[in-house]
Amino acid sequence: MNRLSLCGLALFATMLSTNTFAQGERKVLLVGIDGVQFEKLQTLNTPNFDRLYVEQAYTGGIDGAESQQSTYSGPGWSTILTGVWANKHQVTSNSSGLANSAFPSLFKRIKEADSNHWVGSIVNWSPINTQFFTQDLSNADLIQSGLSDDQVTAQAVARINSGIADFLFLHLDEPDHAGHSYCFGSAYNNSITDSDARLGQLLDAVDARNALGENWLVLVTTDHGRDTLGCNHGAQTSNEKTIFIASNQMLNLEHSEKVTDISNTDFNGIYGHSAQTAIAPTVLRHLGITLDSNWMLDGTPMIGTTGVRKLLPGNSSTAEWYAQSPGQVSVYRNGVLVDSVDALSRAWQDLSDFHGTADYVLVQDQTPVAIRRSRLDITAALDWNVSRAYYFRDDSQYVRYNKTSDSADSGYPLEVSDNTWPGLGSYASQIVAAFKASSSKGYFFLADGRYLRYDLNSDSVDSGYPKDVNNSSWPGLAPYATQIRAALKWPNSKVYFFLADGSYLRYDMNNDSLDGGYPKPINNSTWPGMADYAMDITAAHQWNSSRAYIFLSNQRYLRYSISGDQVDSGYPRAINGNTWPGLMNP
């Protein structure tokens, strides 16, 4: 299917490195065909796809990392149109609202670069135009939504033939509809061959314009793959993450070469292919729009110089990449130059004490590519009811966590303020521990040795607080007030306080006093499995009567069996999009 040969690659190497294409007026047609399984596409007779250079690519971000996103249409099309993953554009599901305006789509970026550019979006699936990018399309020249695939194609051909279009995005939906309705089978196969026929009409129109001296780049892609039966999608599996990017022009090695020499070889080495994020910077560069490092685009352009390739989060480093030749790579954190390294180092670690969400941009050969990393710790946890808990972070933000769905609620994190937590706002940066004492009361402990009592019914700090932790308010706890790092309510009257020096206290709420014989060291006799992490504890939470979670520094956690009184095997684990969905969202 792919007409790119090794011989052709060698012949065009110089052209690609200098981004030299036909000199006609540059235009782009971006065609999205929803829900096409790449492996199925390869087995069918598709003469019009055969006119293109078709290569495998991936969606869904990096599994388990900050960029992980669901393989649904909303996140997929938003990534295609913005060049960033969902942790930036914030379209995390098909029901999400407006995309994050800090990361505009191609519709807005192209208009901002030149208001005279003609920009249009013609879609079958309306939310692209009416839900996610309504604001970005406010200055577009053409917006059509809810059309059939045949209507989308006819409208697009008319605009191409007219010569007015500079950037035209199309969304066709028939394969996704067939998959959801019938799974894999003849109906699904027919939907792809029908889409191929529509693609032929579009390519014929483009070829006619190119014959007149215009320079059209046609990119064809899909938003996600499908599960093994072809019925659904959304998860992080190889089938669902696999997509394709096809082009009418030969692109650079980022498009055509699968890199195997990378540390993350998950999903049969899928991250060695180009990413869905590569499409937007490719469109911009073809149109002559300079890629700005402040845009923090996550994708490597498939036209011209590639800069850093295969930029991925490292296991023990901030970022890793692929390189074969030396060259200077400038590293920016949140817009500030923090380092310069040789490309052949292929990894970089932020050794500063920075905490929070960091946007790193690596620039080589005037080509920027970005990665977002979180350096956050959970500082406190407060159980609210059977289905909801609150987690407080060291960036003075909190997350409401749905224990039933096991994911953060949408719209979080939020700032800890007197609007979100009445009476707590002034102490947001000082919170070091919390626990729910009863159905109506919770306690927050502060770094300076004070505490607040929170009323869960009125949803506010009780009057008269904060107070000092002393022998009147917490008998026996006073000498340790400034050493508290976490509090864990047990399913009885006991509360365990973990201290900065690796020891712990047991407090009896019924007797309102510290139990005798404490503090004790955290070791494998007192807390089996926790000895190695005694100094790393940052927060604790009783999830239910049989399970607790102990949060550690550097975004790790332990799962503790209350019934078995020991750390479960296989821990600690990283806090990421798989283990705690949304907990570390920026």
Cβ-in-10-Å burial (0-12, 13-18, 19+) of 463 comes to exposed
Chain center to CA of 252: 26
Q: Work out the average pLDDT over 209-221.
A: 98
Position 576 scores a pLDDT of 83
Of 164, 196, 217, 201, give the one whose Cα is nearest residue 36: 196
The domain locations on the chain are: 25-247+276-288, 378-574
Residue 519 pLDDT? 97
| Within this chain, domains 25-247+276-288 and 378-574 share the same CATH topology | no
Identify the band that residue 23 occupies on the pLDDT scale cut at 50, 70 and 90: low
pLDDT digits (tens, 9 = 90+) for 365-384: 999 999 999 889 999 999 99
Rg (CA), the chain: 27
| Cα–Cα distance, 431 to 446 (Å, whole number) | 5
| Share of residues in the chain with pLDDT > 70 (%) | 96
Altogether, the residues listed in the chain come to a count of 586
Average pLDDT over residues 75-86: 97
Q: Is the pLDDT of residue 75 over 60?
A: yes
- Answer yes or no: is pLDDT of 495 > 60: yes
499 close to 484: Cβ distance less than 8 angstroms: yes
In sequence order, what are the residues at sequence separation of 6 or more whose Cβ sits closer than 8 angstroms to the Cβ of residue 248? 51, 52, 53, 203, 206, 216, 217, 218
- Give the chain's count of helices (H) and strands (E): 14, 35
Tokens of 561: 């069996």
The answer, yes or no, to whether residue 585 has pLDDT greater than 90, is no
Contact 199, 44 (CB under 8 A): no
Tell me: the pLDDT tens digits for 124-149? Answer: 999 999 999 999 999 999 999 999 99
Q: Quote the pLDDT of residue 55.
A: 98
pLDDT surpasses 60 at 32: yes
Compute, in degrees rounded to 10, the torsion defined by CA atoms 101, 107, 110, 115: -100
Contacts of 515-520 spanning 24+ positions with Cβ under 8 A = 519/480
Span 443-466, pLDDT tens digits: 999 999 999 999 999 999 999 999
- Superfamily of domain 378-574, CATH level 4: Hemopexin-like domain (2.110.10.10)
Q: Which CATH number among 3.30.70.380, 3.40.50.2000, 3.40.720.10, 2.60.120.10 corresponds to the domain 25-247+276-288? A: 3.40.720.10
pLDDT at 554: 86
Indicate if the pLDDT at residue 488 is higher than 80.
yes
> d(Cα 484, Cα 463) in Å, to the nearest integer?
23
Percent of the chain residues topping a pLDDT of 90:
90
